Structure 1
Amino acid sequence: MKALLFLSAPLLLATTAAAHPADEWEFVVESGYLWNVGDNTSIDYEIIPTQLTFRSPTMWTWFSGDDGSRLVVRNRFAAIFETVTVGPEDYYIGLSAAPSIEYWFPSETTSIFFSIGGGVGLTNSTDVFDGQGQDFTFNWFSQLGVRQQITKDLSLLGGAYFVHHSNGGQTSPNPGIDALGFTIGLGMKF
């Protein structure tokens, strides 16, 4: 019996030790609403962004405080599915990647995050003036938000979201979409 307890002690300790939420993979489903800003196009686009986002475990720690606070960098990869509710296109499907810079408060249940990055995608372009002009486009985004753990494995996320879609100067004229709004999401650690 003592041998069994001795052999199972490391396993028991490993399952009871709480890992920091930033040290685990996270899958997030998020959506929101965006409105056209700026003057890259005369079209008043409105977009529903939906993303399936993966955040890696911490790749780099800038600092780790004695009180449990941390400033970390994680990888962020997203599959993008956008519905264009106002505008000549109907959808945008793409991929993006970025670092996720996160400040975790001492409670280890709340964080503020910032991401800036981009990728590529496809839309169903039309011949409408100031529309995207071609199906293949680039995307660039930035996001600032807050994450709150609601259970050990689930979290709620919300924040401001900006996206830019461009055909990279491959058509003339070269319209782009600049849209700003919000996203909310549900995250799950695994």
Structure 2
Amino acid sequence: MKRLRALAACALILNCMRAFGGAEQSRVATATEEFNPQRFEFAIESGYLFGAINPPASYQIGAEFLTARVRWGVVRSDSWFRGYHQFYVSAVLEPIFRGIENHYFGFNLGMRYNFVQPGSRLVPYISGGVGAGAIDSHPEVPGGQGQDFTFNILSAAGISYNVNDHWKIDVGALYQHLSNGGQTDPNPSVNLFGPQVG
């Protein structure tokens, strides 16, 4: 008798699920099958960058970014090039923990490419961009930036993990170059490498 009641309850639940369309599928699954990625993303990203090739000062910078990304085209292919482009705009806010200057504020415009494989939540990416900003320069200190106005170049590579329809986690490596583009002589530049999460 107990088995009959259990079977009847299961049959009722299955019929209700069929009648009302079943459980809603996750957009992560349908995005990889139909391949229609999100059109807009907003990201908060953070990194810790270490200076390289920066004589005479060694730099350590906390890289903080507020980034908006807009999908710029989809590559539908059966190869590993399958993916989509994104145009991005980032606000750059960087405290300088070790180095001659104390902070850097700016913006960066660039492109990102996401390599999407069917059925995978892991999405490798590469990105690069250019921008400008202001640093609290100390031109009287050898090796310091010669003026407040500087250009920046950013490039990154990493992997995104799609947690669900609305959230994803990025982990990667970041390169940043700060320079005033030869507007002062000498023109010291800052080259930084480090990890980034977002």
TM-score bucket of the superposed structures, by smaller chain: 0.7 to 0.9
Match for 2:57: what amino acid?
Answer: I
Q: Match of 2:60?
A: 46
Shift of 1:88: 1.5
Name which of 95, 99, 103 aligns with 1:91.
Answer: 103
Match for 1:71: what amino acid?
Answer: G
CA contact (8 A) 2:26 2:165 kept: no
Q: Match of 2:134?
A: 122
**Aligned CA-pair RMSD:** 2.3
1:91-110 deviations in whole A, cap 9, x for unaligned?
11100011101101212532
1:113-170 deviations in whole A, cap 9, x for unaligned?
1011110000111121111111000000100011001122011111000000001101
Shift of 1:32: 1.4
Alignment of 1:29-178 (within 5 A): 29-39=44-54, 41-57=55-71, 59-65=72-78, 70-107=82-119, 109-126=121-138, 127-178=140-191
Q: 1:17 to 1:44 in 2, by over 3 A?
A: closer
Match for 1:51: what amino acid?
Answer: F
2:141 and 2:167 map into 1 onto residues whose CA distance is 43
Match for 2:47: what amino acid?
Answer: G
Match for 2:184: what amino acid?
Answer: T
Shift of 1:16: 7.4
Q: Which moved more, 1:120-129 or 1:105-114?
A: 105-114
Which structure 2 segments of 5+ residues have no match?
A: 1-20
TM-score normalised over the length of structure 1:
0.81
CA contact (8 A) 2:76 2:82 kept: yes
Larger Rg: 2
Which structure 1 segments of 5+ residues have no match?
A: 1-11, 186-190
For these two proteins, the number of residue pairs brought into alignment is 169
Match for 1:65: what amino acid?
Answer: D
TM-score normalised over the length of structure 2:
0.78
1:32 and 1:99 map into 2 onto residues whose CA distance is 19
Q: Percent identity?
A: 31
1:108 and 1:76 map into 2 onto residues whose CA distance is 23
Q: Match of 1:4?
A: none
